[in-house]
Amino acid sequence: MMKFLGKLLLVVAIVLLLAMLAVYFLLQTRWGATQVSQWVSNNSDYHLTFDVMDHRFSSPSHVLLKNVNFGHKGKPATLVAKTVDIDLSSRQLTDPLHVDTILLQDGTLNLSPAAAPLPFQADRLQLSNMAFNSPATGWDLSAQRVTGGVAPWQPVAGNVLGSKTQIQMSAGSLMLNGVPASNVLIQGSIDKDVVTLTTIGADMARGSLTGDAQRNADGSWVVNNLRLNDIRLQSDKSLLDFFNPLTTLPSLKIGRVEVTDARLQGPEWAVTDLDLSLRNLTLEGGDWKSEDGRLSMNATEFIYGSLHLFDPILNATFSPQGIALQQFTSRWENGMVRTSGNWYRAGHALVLDDAAFAGLEYTLPANWKQVWMDELPTWLNSVTLKKFSASRNLVIDIDPGFPWQLTALDGYGDNLQLARERKWGVWGGSAKLNAAAATFNRVDVRRPSLALNANSSTVNISELSAFTGQGLLEATAVVSQTPERSVNLSLRGRGVPVNVLQEWGWPALPINGDGNLQLTASGNVNANAPLKPTVNGELQVINVQKQQLKQSMHGGVVSGGVVAPPTESAPSPSPQPSP
DSSP string for 273-334? EEEEEEEEEEEETTEEE-SSEEEEEE-SEEEETTEEEEEEEEEEEEETTEEEEEEEEEEETT
SS3 369: helix
For 207, residues 6+ apart whose C-beta sits below 8 A from its C-beta are 228, 229, 230, 231, 232, 262
Q: Quick: pLDDT tens for 520-565.
A: 999 998 877 888 888 999 999 999 988 999 999 988 788 876 666 6
Q: Is the dihedral of CA 560, 563, 568, 574 positive or negative?
A: positive
Measured between alpha carbons, how far apart are the two ends of the chain, in Å? 144
* Long-range pairs, 481-484, Cβ under 8 A, ≥24: 481/425, 481/427, 481/454, 481/455, 481/456, 481/457, 483/526, 484/524, 484/526
Q: Quick: pLDDT tens for 483-495.
A: 888 999 999 999 9
Q: Where are the domains of the chain?
A: 8-204, 232-332, 347-456, 490-579
The predicted model scores a pTM of: 0.82
For 542, residues 6+ apart whose C-beta sits below 8 A from its C-beta are 515, 516, 517, 548, 549, 570, 571, 573
Q: Quick: pLDDT tens for 171-204.
A: 999 888 777 899 999 999 999 889 999 999 999 9
SS3 107: strand
Q: Quick: pLDDT tens for 313-368.
A: 999 999 999 999 999 999 999 999 999 999 999 999 999 999 999 999 999 998 89
Q: Which amino acid is it at 258? A: E
Rounded Cα distance, 397 and 411, in Å:
19
Tell me the pLDDT of the chain averaged across its residues.
Answer: 87
> Length of the chain in residues, anyone?
579
| Mean pLDDT of the 228-233 span | 94
For 107, residues 6+ apart whose C-beta sits below 8 A from its C-beta are 68, 79, 80, 81, 82, 130, 131
In angstroms, how far is CA 413 from the centroid of its own chain?
A: 33
pLDDT value, residue 19:
47
Question: Is a pLDDT exceeding 90 seen at residue 93?
Answer: no
pLDDT value, residue 171:
93
pLDDT value, residue 115:
65
Q: Which amino acid is it at 60? A: P
Rounded Cα distance, 354 and 344, in Å:
16
**Residue closest to 241 by CA, chosen among 207, 219, 269, 218:** 269
Most confident among 72-76, 186-190, 392-396 (mean pLDDT): 392-396
| Mean pLDDT of the 501-522 span | 92
Contact 517, 533 (CB under 8 A): no
Q: Quick: pLDDT tens for 278-316.
A: 999 999 988 899 999 999 999 999 999 989 999 999 999
Between the CA of residue 280 and those of 225, 255, 298, what are the distances in Å? 10, 5, 19
**Residue closest to 262 by CA, chosen among 320, 219, 204:** 204
pLDDT value, residue 228:
96
**Residue closest to 336 by CA, chosen among 307, 310, 317, 318:** 310
Rounded Cα distance, 573 and 518, in Å:
12
Q: How sure is the predictor about 20, in pLDDT bands with cuts at 50, 70 and 90?
A: very low
Q: Quick: pLDDT tens for 50-63.
A: 888 776 655 667 78
pLDDT value, residue 137:
61
Question: Is a pLDDT exceeding 60 seen at residue 16?
Answer: no
Q: Quick: pLDDT tens for 376-390.
A: 999 999 999 999 999
Neighbours of 9 (CB within 10 A): 10
Q: Is the dihedral of CA 153, 159, 165, 167 positive or negative?
A: positive
Helices in 353-479 by DSSP H: which ranges? 368-373
SS3 515: strand
Question: Is a pLDDT exceeding 50 seen at residue 508?
Answer: yes
Beta-sheet pairing, 46-49 with 59-72: antiparallel
Q: What percent of the chain is predicted at pLDDT more than 90?
A: 57
pLDDT value, residue 37:
73
Helices in 28-152 by DSSP H: which ranges? 30-42
* Main-chain phi, psi angles of 549, to 5 degrees: -145, 135
Please compute Rg for the chain using Cα positions.
40
Q: For residues 167 and 155, which has the higher predicted lDDT (pLDDT)?
A: 167
Query: Which segment of 33-37, 117-121, 220-224 scores lowest on mean pLDDT?
Result: 33-37
pLDDT value, residue 526:
81
Q: Quick: pLDDT tens for 416-470.
A: 999 999 999 999 999 999 999 999 999 999 999 999 999 999 999 999 999 998 9
Greatest alpha-carbon pair distance for the chain in Å reads: 167
Contact 394, 361 (CB under 8 A): yes
Rounded Cα distance, 192 and 53, in Å:
35
Question: Is a pLDDT exceeding 50 seen at residue 569?
Answer: no
> Residue 372, by phi and psi: left (phi above 0), alpha (psi -120 to 50) or beta?
alpha
Rounded Cα distance, 329 and 163, in Å:
51
